[in-house]
Chains A and B, each alone.
Chain A
Amino acid sequence: MSTTVIAEIPGHELPSESRVNYLNVDHSVKSWLLTHDHKRIALLYLISITLMFFVGGFFAVLMRLNLIEPTGLVAPETYNKLFSMHGIIMVFFFLVPSIPATLGNFLVPMMIGARDLAFPRINLLSWYIYIIGAAFTMYAVISGGVDTGWTFYTPYSSTFSHSQVIPAAVGVFITGFSSILTGLNFVVTIHKMRAPGLTWFRLPLFIWSMYATSVIFILGTPVIAITLFLLGLERLLHIGIFDPAIGGDPILFQHMFWFYSHPAVYIMILPGMGVMSELITAFSRKRIFGYTFVAFSSLAIAVISFLVWGHHMFVTGQSVYAGLIFSVLSFLVAIPSAIKVFNWTATLYKGSISYEAPMLYALGFIGLFTMGGLTGLFLASLATDVHLNGTYFIVAHFHYIMVGGAVMAYLGGLHFWWPKITGRLYPDGWARFAALVIFVGFNLTFFPQFVLGYLGMPRRYAVYPAEFQVLNVMSSAGASILGVGYVIPLIYFIWSFKYGPIAGPNPWGAKGLEWTTPSPPPTENFEEIPIVTEQAYNYAGTSESAHG
C-alpha cells in the first residue's frame, strides 16, 4: 500500500464543519476574490464557466426552437447571431477552459503532492483575464450580437458584417491569455513540483492529459490571438493582410484560424480523456490497461493535432496534394484515440465494477466518443468530405465529441471529485437518473443530424426545405430533454452544498494522492508532502517490480 502520510486517522474524522479547510478558512468576499489558493480559483472558474455554459445553452435552445419550423421562427439575422454566439461562448468560454480550469486547477497540485501551482498569482490573474474577456463578449452579445459564426471567416467578418465583430474578437483574444497562463502554470508545476518519488511514469493519467493539453495551450493559443488581432485591425483600418484589394488572401485567415482551432478541439477532449482514465480505474478498482500507451497517446495527439488543420479546408480550393497530406495526417491522429478507447475497455476486464453516476458518465463517454471519433473518418476521407463539409454531418460529428464526449467527461469528473471539492455527497439516484436523461436526450438531438447532413442540409441555415422537417423536429425534441438533463445536476449540486451528507476523505475508495486528504482539503493540501513509492492505480497492492 502507499506510504503517503494521511492527515487524519480513518474512523476518527471530525465533521467537516468544525475542521478548518480551504472553504471555511475565511468567508470574506475579499478572501475569495484575492485568493491565491488553486482550489478556490478552481471554484471561481466553476461558477463562471457554469454561467457561460447556460448562456450558450440558452442560445442553443432558441436555435432548436427556430428549427422546428422550416420557415423559421426568428428573423434570419437573429438566427445567425444565435448560432454565432452559441459557438463563440461554448467553444472559448466553456469547452476550452472547462476541465483544465476547474478540475485541472483543483487537482493538478493535489495529484502530484504539491501545495499549490507554481504561480498562484498568475493563476488568479488568468481567472480575471477570463472574466474580462467574457465581459467583452457579453457586451458584444447584448449590444446587438455578432453574426460571423465562431469561425469569423473573412471577408464577411472583416468587411461585410454589420455586427459587433470587434468586441467579440477582443473578448476571445483576451480570454486566450487566460488559457496560455493556465497552460504555462500546469507545465511548470508538473515539471518542477512533483512530490518525492513521483516519477513521470507514476503520474496519474489525468496529469499526462493536462500536460498534453497545456502544450497545445502554449503553442496554439497565441496563433488565434494574432489572427483575431489582425482581423480586428483590418476591420478597423479597412486594410490588412486578408484584404484582396492589396493582394491579401481571405484563405490565409482560414489557415491561421484553423492552425489554432484544430488543436483547440484536442484541448477540449484531452482533459476529458484524462478524466476517463481516473474514472474507469476507480470504478473498476483496477490499474489502467496499457498505462504507457495511454500516456504517450496523449502526447501523440497533442503533437499530431498541429499538423491536420487543412482538413477544415478541403473544399476551399487548396491543391490536391495539400488535401492528400492533410487527409493522411488526419487519419493518423485518430489512431492514438482509438488506442485509448481500447485500453479503457480492457481495463474493465476482470475488474470490480460499480455503477455510480461518475461511472455511468464514463461509460457513456466511451461509446459516444467512439462514435463521434469514427464519424471523423468520414471527414478525413477526401471523397466523402466534399459532400459532407458545411452540412449537419459536421455539426453532429463535433457535438458527439464535444457534448457526448467532453461535456459528459466534465460531468463525470465533477460527480467523482465533488465530495473532495465540497466535502459533501449528492444524491446518487438523481445523479444516475440525470446521466440517463442526458444520454437519451443527447442521442435524440444529434443522431438525426448525421442523416440530415448526408441528405444535404447545410449548417447555419435559419430556414430549410420542408423535407428536412421531421429530422429537425426529432433533434429539437431531443434538445429539450437534454436541457432538462443538464438542469438536474445544477439543482442537486447546489442542494448538496448545504444538505448533502458529509463525505469522508475517500468515499469511492479510489487511489490517488488527492484522496489521502480530508474532504474538503485544508488550504495547504498536505500536512506533510507525501513520498510516493508505487505506481498509479495500484488497487491490487502490487509492488512495482512485480508488475509485468
Chain B
Amino acid sequence: MYMTGLLQFGLGNIANAATWIPLHPTAASSIAQDVDLLYYFLTALTLFFTALIFGTIFYFMVKFRRRSPDEVPPDTKTHLALELTWTIIPTLITVVIFVWASVLYVRNSRPPASSTEMFVVGKQWMWHVQHPEGVREINEMHVPVGVPIKLTMTSEDVIHDFYIPAFRVKKDVMPGRYSSIWFQATEIGTYHLFCAQYCGTDHSQMIGWVYVMSPTDYATWLAGGTKNESMAEMGGRLFSQLGCAACHSSDNSGRGPSLAGLYGTTEKLRDGSSKTVDEGLIRQAIVNPNSVMLPNYPPIMPTFQGQVNEEQVLQLIAYVKSLEPEERTTSSK
C-alpha cells in the first residue's frame, strides 16, 4: 500500500512535470490515470534495464579493453546461481506486470450496469454516432462528463477502430457484428477521435472530436436544434414502414413471434442451440433471418440485408429493446 502510494507519488510527479513536454495525452477518463501509472512504471523499468545493460557494457568495454594483441583472457566459468537469478527475477517482474495489467484490463472490460448507451457505425471514411434520444452526429460525439457511456459499434464495410487517446480506450469495429467499449469521461474538454485500423484511402482522415460537457450543457445540447425522434421512435417508424409489424404483431396473432420483452431473454433456436437475445442476435435476425429462427414458427422471414443500413438496424434494435412485456395485449392466441 505504502509502496504503491510512493510509486504513484513519484510517477505522478514525473507525469505532471512532463506535461510541458507532451508525453501523454490529457488524462480525461476514469481509467486514464491508472493506465498512465502502469505505462510510466513500464517506462521506468525499460529505462532502468536499458541503462543497466548499456552501462554495464560500457563499463566492461573500458575496463576489459584489449591491452596487448596476444592477450588471452582467463576462461569463462559457469555460474548457475547467476543464471538462475537473472532468469527468476525477470520472470517475477513479468508476473507482477501481467497481474497489474490484467486486473486493470478485466476491470475495464465490463461496463457498469448504469451505463448510458450510444451507438457508433464506422464506414469508409467517417464515424456516425447515434444517441438513443435520436440525435445523430458525424465525426463528433458529445458526451456528458462523469457518466459511464457504453458504445455499441459496427462497421458498414471494412474493419475500423474507434480510438479516443484521452480516454485510453480503443476497440476494433467490424462488419457483420457488434463490438462494445465503455468509458467515463472525467474532464470537460475536446479530445481527438481517431480511426486506428487501416481501412483504405482516407484512413488518416477518419478522425473527429469528442466533446465532453457538463451534464446540464449536455442536456441542453441534446434537446436543442430540431426536434428529434429518439432512436426507438425512428426504429418504430421503420418497423411499420418495412412491414415488420405485419408478422410481428404485439398480440402474437401474426406469423412471427411478438417481440415484446424478447430482448435479454434466452431462446432455443431452430437448430437446437440456445442464445441470448442481444443486439447481435437481433441484427442477425434482420439481415440473415434463417440463421436464428425460432422453432414453432415457419422459417419464412425475408432478409432485410441491403434494405437497411447499419444505423437503421441499430434503430430497429432500440425499438425492439423498448418493447416491454406489458405492451403485450391480453388477447389470447
Contacts and interface: CB of A to CB of B under 8 A. Distances in A.
Q: Decide if A and B touch, CB cutoff 8 A.
A: yes
Interface of A: 76-77, 80, 147, 149, 153, 155-156, 159-161, 244, 247, 250-251, 284-290, 293, 315-317, 320, 323-324, 327-328, 331-332, 334-335, 338-339, 341-343, 345-355, 363, 366-367, 370-371, 374-375, 377-378, 380-384, 386-387, 389-391, 451, 454-456, 458-465, 467, 539-542, 547-548
Contact of A77 (B77, B79, B86, B201): B201
A371 B54 CA distance: 10
A285 B195 CA distance: 52
Contact of B200 (A156, A287, A339, A547): A156
A386 B98 contact: no
A381 B205 contact: no
4 nearest A-B pairs in the assembled complex, by CB-CB distance: A456-B165, A381-B101, A540-B75, A390-B196
Interface stretch (B155-163, B225-233, B244-252): B155-163
A456 B163 contact: yes
A331 B97 contact: yes
A353 B69 CA distance: 10
A287 B66 CA distance: 16
B38 interface: yes
Contact of A354 (B66, B158, B172): B66
Contact of A160 (B46, B157, B169): B157
B174 interface: yes
A181 to B, nearest CB: 32
B76 A383 contact: no
A287 B54 CA distance: 21
Nearest to B69: A509
Given A349-B60, A384-B101, A460 B204 contact: yes
Interface string B99-116: 011101110110000000
13 contacts: A76-B204, A155-B159, A160-B200, A251-B174, A317-B177, A348-B64, A363-B61, A384-B39, A386-B169, A387-B169, A454-B39, A459-B198, A542-B75
Given A251-B174, A377-B45, A456 B22 contact: no
Nearest to B160: A156
Nearest to B288: A247
Contacts of A289: 76, 78-79
A284 B201 CA distance: 52
A336 to B, nearest CB: 9
B274 to A, nearest CB: 18
A76 B201 contact: yes
Contact of A286 (B56, B76, B158): B76
B86 to A, nearest CB: 4
Contact of A377 (B42, B50, B61): B42
Contacts of B49: 370, 374
Contact of A315 (B83, B161, B165, B175): B161
B94 A464 contact: no
A454 B24 contact: yes
B65 interface: yes
Given A339-B87, A461-B203, A348 B72 contact: no
Given A76-B205, A80-B200, A339-B86, A374 B57 contact: no
A149 B196 CA distance: 13
B97 A377 contact: yes
A288 B76 contact: yes
Interface string B34-62: 11001100100110011001101100110
A295 to B, nearest CB: 13
Contacts of A316: 172, 174
Given A76-B202, A288-B76, A338-B86, 19 more contacts: A149-B198, A244-B176, A286-B75, A286-B76, A317-B172, A334-B94, A338-B87, A339-B87, A352-B67, A352-B73, A375-B46, A381-B101, A386-B105, A386-B168, A458-B163, A458-B194, A462-B203, A467-B22, A542-B75
A353 B66 contact: yes
B175 A355 contact: no
B199 interface: yes
B322 to A, nearest CB: 26
Which among B90, B177, B198 has the greatest number of chain A C-beta atoms within 10 A? B198
Interface string B101-135: 11011101100000000000000100000000000
Nearest to A280: B57
B201 A80 contact: yes
Contacts of A288: 76
Which among A339, A382, A391, A541 has the greatest number of chain B C-beta atoms within 10 A? A382
B203 A460 contact: yes
Contact of B23 (A155, A332, A391, A451): A451
Nearest to A378: B42
B81 to A, nearest CB: 12
B38 A384 contact: yes
